[in-house]
Chain A
Amino acid sequence: DTEVTQTPKHLVMGMTNKKSLKCEQHMGHRAMYWYKQKAKKPPELMFVYSYEKLSINESVPSRFSPECPNSSLLNLHLHALQPEDSALYLCASSNPARRGKSLTDTQYFGPGTRLTVL
Protein backbone atom coordinates (compact mmCIF):
# COMPACT_ATOMS: atom_id res chain seq x y z
CA ASP A 1 0.00 0.00 0.00
CA THR A 2 1.70 3.17 -1.22
CA GLU A 3 -1.27 5.43 -0.64
CA VAL A 4 -1.59 8.65 1.29
CA THR A 5 -5.19 9.66 1.86
CA GLN A 6 -6.50 13.13 2.58
CA THR A 7 -9.90 14.40 3.66
CA PRO A 8 -11.83 16.36 2.71
CA LYS A 9 -11.14 16.65 -1.02
CA HIS A 10 -12.67 20.10 -1.16
CA LEU A 11 -13.34 22.63 1.59
CA VAL A 12 -14.96 26.03 1.50
CA MET A 13 -14.75 28.08 4.66
CA GLY A 14 -15.31 31.60 5.88
CA MET A 15 -12.65 33.68 7.53
CA THR A 16 -14.13 33.12 10.99
CA ASN A 17 -14.50 29.35 10.68
CA LYS A 18 -12.41 26.65 12.32
CA LYS A 19 -11.76 23.55 10.24
CA SER A 20 -9.28 20.69 10.07
CA LEU A 21 -7.57 18.84 7.24
CA LYS A 22 -6.69 15.21 7.77
CA CYS A 23 -4.01 12.98 6.30
CA GLU A 24 -3.35 9.29 6.81
CA GLN A 25 -0.72 6.81 5.64
CA HIS A 26 -0.17 3.16 6.48
CA MET A 27 3.24 2.66 4.91
CA GLY A 28 5.09 2.88 8.21
CA HIS A 29 6.68 6.16 7.17
CA ARG A 30 8.14 8.18 10.02
CA ALA A 31 8.20 11.58 8.34
CA MET A 32 5.07 13.45 7.32
CA TYR A 33 4.74 16.81 5.60
CA TRP A 34 2.27 19.57 4.83
CA TYR A 35 2.74 21.52 1.61
CA LYS A 36 0.77 24.42 0.18
CA GLN A 37 0.44 24.71 -3.58
CA LYS A 38 -0.98 27.70 -5.42
CA ALA A 39 -2.10 27.38 -9.04
CA LYS A 40 0.78 26.97 -11.51
CA LYS A 41 3.34 27.02 -8.68
CA PRO A 42 5.45 24.30 -7.08
CA PRO A 43 4.55 22.87 -3.69
CA GLU A 44 5.82 25.01 -0.80
CA LEU A 45 6.77 23.25 2.38
CA MET A 46 4.87 24.28 5.51
CA PHE A 47 5.67 21.71 8.21
CA VAL A 48 7.65 18.52 8.70
CA TYR A 49 7.01 15.95 11.40
CA SER A 50 9.69 13.40 12.08
CA TYR A 51 8.90 10.56 14.47
CA GLU A 52 5.73 12.42 15.50
CA LYS A 53 7.66 15.53 16.53
CA LEU A 54 7.53 18.83 14.69
CA SER A 55 10.99 19.23 13.17
CA ILE A 56 10.46 22.00 10.63
CA ASN A 57 8.09 24.97 10.60
CA GLU A 58 8.74 27.12 7.55
CA SER A 59 7.65 30.35 9.27
CA VAL A 60 4.00 29.50 8.74
CA PRO A 61 1.42 31.90 10.29
CA SER A 62 -0.14 30.69 13.54
CA ARG A 63 -3.58 30.47 11.90
CA PHE A 64 -2.25 27.11 10.62
CA SER A 65 -1.69 24.62 13.43
CA PRO A 66 -0.34 21.14 12.68
CA GLU A 67 -0.85 18.08 14.84
CA CYS A 68 0.50 14.55 14.61
CA PRO A 69 -1.62 12.31 16.91
CA ASN A 70 0.31 9.17 15.92
CA SER A 71 2.72 7.89 13.32
CA SER A 72 -0.05 7.34 10.74
CA LEU A 73 -2.04 10.54 11.11
CA LEU A 74 -1.35 14.18 10.42
CA ASN A 75 -3.82 17.01 10.89
CA LEU A 76 -3.77 20.66 9.93
CA HIS A 77 -6.06 22.87 12.01
CA LEU A 78 -7.26 26.05 10.35
CA HIS A 79 -8.57 29.15 12.09
CA ALA A 80 -9.19 32.71 10.96
CA LEU A 81 -7.80 32.13 7.48
CA GLN A 82 -7.53 34.78 4.81
CA PRO A 83 -8.70 34.55 1.17
CA GLU A 84 -5.05 34.40 0.05
CA ASP A 85 -4.76 31.10 1.95
CA SER A 86 -6.94 29.48 -0.71
CA ALA A 87 -4.79 26.76 -2.30
CA LEU A 88 -4.27 23.03 -2.68
CA TYR A 89 -2.94 21.59 0.59
CA LEU A 90 -0.86 18.50 0.06
CA CYS A 91 0.20 15.96 2.62
CA ALA A 92 3.19 13.70 1.98
CA SER A 93 5.04 10.98 3.84
CA SER A 94 8.44 9.38 3.53
CA ASN A 95 11.10 7.29 5.22
CA PRO A 96 14.28 9.38 5.00
CA ALA A 97 17.45 7.33 5.06
CA ARG A 98 21.13 8.13 4.79
CA ARG A 99 23.29 6.04 2.48
CA GLY A 100 26.83 7.31 2.94
CA LYS A 101 26.76 11.04 2.36
CA SER A 102 23.48 10.96 0.47
CA LEU A 103 20.03 11.42 1.92
CA THR A 104 17.41 9.41 0.09
CA ASP A 105 13.82 10.36 0.62
CA THR A 106 11.04 9.44 -1.76
CA GLN A 107 8.00 11.43 -0.79
CA TYR A 108 4.55 10.04 -1.46
CA PHE A 109 1.92 12.70 -1.89
CA GLY A 110 -1.76 12.50 -1.11
CA PRO A 111 -4.38 13.84 -3.54
CA GLY A 112 -4.69 17.09 -1.63
CA THR A 113 -7.47 19.19 -0.18
CA ARG A 114 -8.55 22.09 -2.34
CA LEU A 115 -9.31 24.90 0.09
CA THR A 116 -11.29 28.02 -0.71
CA VAL A 117 -11.50 30.79 1.88
CA LEU A 118 -14.31 33.27 1.32
Chain B
Amino acid sequence: GQQVMQIPQYQHVQEGEDFTTYCNSSTTLSNIQWYKQRPGGHPVFLIQLVKSGEVKKQKRLTFQFGEAKKNSSLHITATQTTDVGTYFCAGFKNSGYALNFGKGTSLLVTP
Protein backbone atom coordinates (compact mmCIF):
# COMPACT_ATOMS: atom_id res chain seq x y z
CA GLY B 1 0.00 0.00 0.00
CA GLN B 2 0.94 3.64 -0.18
CA GLN B 3 3.65 4.68 2.26
CA VAL B 4 4.71 8.18 3.12
CA MET B 5 8.28 8.45 4.38
CA GLN B 6 9.54 11.53 6.17
CA ILE B 7 13.04 12.62 7.13
CA PRO B 8 14.73 13.58 9.31
CA GLN B 9 13.04 12.14 12.38
CA TYR B 10 14.50 14.83 14.65
CA GLN B 11 16.17 18.18 14.06
CA HIS B 12 17.73 20.46 16.65
CA VAL B 13 18.64 23.96 15.51
CA GLN B 14 19.70 27.25 17.03
CA GLU B 15 17.20 30.04 16.76
CA GLY B 16 17.75 31.86 13.47
CA GLU B 17 18.95 28.80 11.57
CA ASP B 18 16.96 27.33 8.71
CA PHE B 19 15.14 23.98 8.82
CA THR B 20 13.88 21.59 6.16
CA THR B 21 11.86 18.38 6.37
CA TYR B 22 11.33 16.05 3.42
CA CYS B 23 8.48 13.75 2.55
CA ASN B 24 8.54 10.95 -0.04
CA SER B 25 5.78 8.68 -1.25
CA SER B 26 6.06 5.30 -2.92
CA THR B 27 3.18 6.25 -5.23
CA THR B 28 1.93 9.39 -6.95
CA LEU B 29 -0.14 11.53 -4.64
CA SER B 30 -3.26 13.42 -5.65
CA ASN B 31 -2.22 16.06 -3.15
CA ILE B 32 -0.17 16.39 0.01
CA GLN B 33 -0.96 18.12 3.25
CA TRP B 34 1.23 19.41 6.05
CA TYR B 35 0.29 19.53 9.72
CA LYS B 36 2.05 20.90 12.80
CA GLN B 37 1.65 19.42 16.27
CA ARG B 38 2.98 21.35 19.24
CA PRO B 39 4.16 19.35 22.26
CA GLY B 40 1.06 18.25 24.16
CA GLY B 41 -1.18 19.53 21.41
CA HIS B 42 -3.07 18.17 18.43
CA PRO B 43 -2.28 18.29 14.71
CA VAL B 44 -3.12 21.62 13.08
CA PHE B 45 -3.52 21.92 9.33
CA LEU B 46 -0.90 24.14 7.67
CA ILE B 47 -1.36 23.78 3.93
CA GLN B 48 -2.38 21.56 1.04
CA LEU B 49 -0.44 21.24 -2.22
CA VAL B 50 -2.25 19.93 -5.29
CA LYS B 51 -0.40 20.84 -8.47
CA SER B 52 2.80 19.33 -9.79
CA GLY B 53 5.75 21.59 -8.93
CA GLU B 54 3.61 23.80 -6.72
CA VAL B 55 5.32 26.17 -4.29
CA LYS B 56 3.44 27.98 -1.55
CA LYS B 57 4.68 30.35 1.13
CA GLN B 58 3.33 31.25 4.53
CA LYS B 59 5.57 33.95 6.03
CA ARG B 60 8.81 32.08 6.87
CA LEU B 61 7.46 28.69 5.72
CA THR B 62 7.92 27.49 2.13
CA PHE B 63 6.16 24.34 0.92
CA GLN B 64 7.05 22.52 -2.31
CA PHE B 65 5.39 19.66 -4.19
CA GLY B 66 7.60 17.72 -6.55
CA GLU B 67 7.12 17.59 -10.30
CA ALA B 68 6.26 13.90 -10.13
CA LYS B 69 3.91 14.48 -7.17
CA LYS B 70 5.82 11.90 -5.14
CA ASN B 71 7.78 14.18 -2.84
CA SER B 72 7.35 17.35 -0.88
CA SER B 73 9.33 19.59 1.43
CA LEU B 74 8.75 22.17 4.12
CA HIS B 75 11.44 24.79 4.66
CA ILE B 76 11.45 27.24 7.55
CA THR B 77 13.68 30.29 7.24
CA ALA B 78 15.22 31.80 10.37
CA THR B 79 13.56 29.51 12.90
CA GLN B 80 12.01 30.88 16.07
CA THR B 81 11.23 29.12 19.34
CA THR B 82 7.55 29.22 18.37
CA ASP B 83 8.37 26.82 15.50
CA VAL B 84 9.00 24.01 17.99
CA GLY B 85 6.83 20.97 17.33
CA THR B 86 6.41 17.96 15.10
CA TYR B 87 5.71 18.52 11.42
CA PHE B 88 3.77 15.81 9.60
CA CYS B 89 3.16 15.39 5.92
CA ALA B 90 0.12 13.38 4.88
CA GLY B 91 -1.20 11.89 1.67
CA PHE B 92 -4.43 10.09 0.97
CA LYS B 93 -4.65 6.35 1.38
CA ASN B 94 -5.79 4.28 -1.56
CA SER B 95 -9.25 4.17 0.02
CA GLY B 96 -9.51 7.83 -0.90
CA TYR B 97 -10.92 9.49 2.18
CA ALA B 98 -8.31 8.82 4.82
CA LEU B 99 -4.94 10.41 5.38
CA ASN B 100 -1.71 8.45 5.57
CA PHE B 101 0.67 10.37 7.81
CA GLY B 102 4.42 10.39 7.57
CA LYS B 103 6.29 9.62 10.79
CA GLY B 104 6.88 13.32 11.37
CA THR B 105 9.93 15.47 12.00
CA SER B 106 10.32 16.81 15.51
CA LEU B 107 11.90 20.25 15.53
CA LEU B 108 13.61 21.65 18.59
CA VAL B 109 14.75 25.27 18.52
CA THR B 110 17.04 26.58 21.22
CA PRO B 111 17.49 30.31 21.84
Q: Footprint of B on A, CB under 8 Å?
A: 31, 33, 40-45, 48, 50, 55-56, 58, 88, 90, 96, 99, 101-112
Are A109 and B43 within 8 A (Cβ)? yes
Q: How far is the CB of B2 from the nearest CB of chain A, in Å?
A: 13
B41 contacts which chain A residues (CB < 8 A)? 111
Are A40 and B106 within 8 A (Cβ)? yes
When C-beta atoms are compared, the residue in chain B nearest to A50 turns out to be B97
Are A102 and B30 within 8 A (Cβ)? yes
Q: Interface code B21-52, partner A: CB below 8 Å = 1, 0 otherwise?
A: 00000000011010100000111110010100
Are A103 and B97 within 8 A (Cβ)? yes
Q: How far is the CB of A57 from the nearest CB of chain B, in Å?
A: 11
Give the dominant DSSP class at B's interface.
loop
A110 contacts which chain B residues (CB < 8 A)? 42
Total CB contacts across the A-B interface at under 8 A: 63
B99 contacts which chain A residues (CB < 8 A)? 45, 105, 107
Are B102 and A42 within 8 A (Cβ)? yes
A99 contacts which chain B residues (CB < 8 A)? 50
B104 contacts which chain A residues (CB < 8 A)? 41-42
Q: How far is the CB of A48 from the nearest CB of chain B, in Å?
A: 6
Contact-residue bracket for chain B = 20 to 34
Are A107 and B45 within 8 A (Cβ)? yes
Q: Footprint of A on B, CB under 8 Å?
A: 30-31, 33, 35, 41-45, 48, 50, 88, 92-93, 95-99, 101-104, 106
When C-beta atoms are compared, the residue in chain A nearest to B98 turns out to be A45
Query: How far apart sit A110 and B97, CA to CA, in the bound complex (Å)?
Result: 18
Are B103 and A42 within 8 A (Cβ)? yes
When C-beta atoms are compared, the residue in chain A nearest to B41 turns out to be A111
Query: How far apart sit A45 and B98, CA to CA, in the bound complex (Å)?
Result: 7
B30 contacts which chain A residues (CB < 8 A)? 101-103
From A48, A88, A104, A106, contact of B98 by CB (8 A):
A48
Are A109 and B44 within 8 A (Cβ)? yes
Are B97 and A105 within 8 A (Cβ)? yes
Q: How far is the CB of A69 from the nearest CB of chain B, in Å?
A: 20
Are A42 and B97 within 8 A (Cβ)? no
Are B106 and A104 within 8 A (Cβ)? no
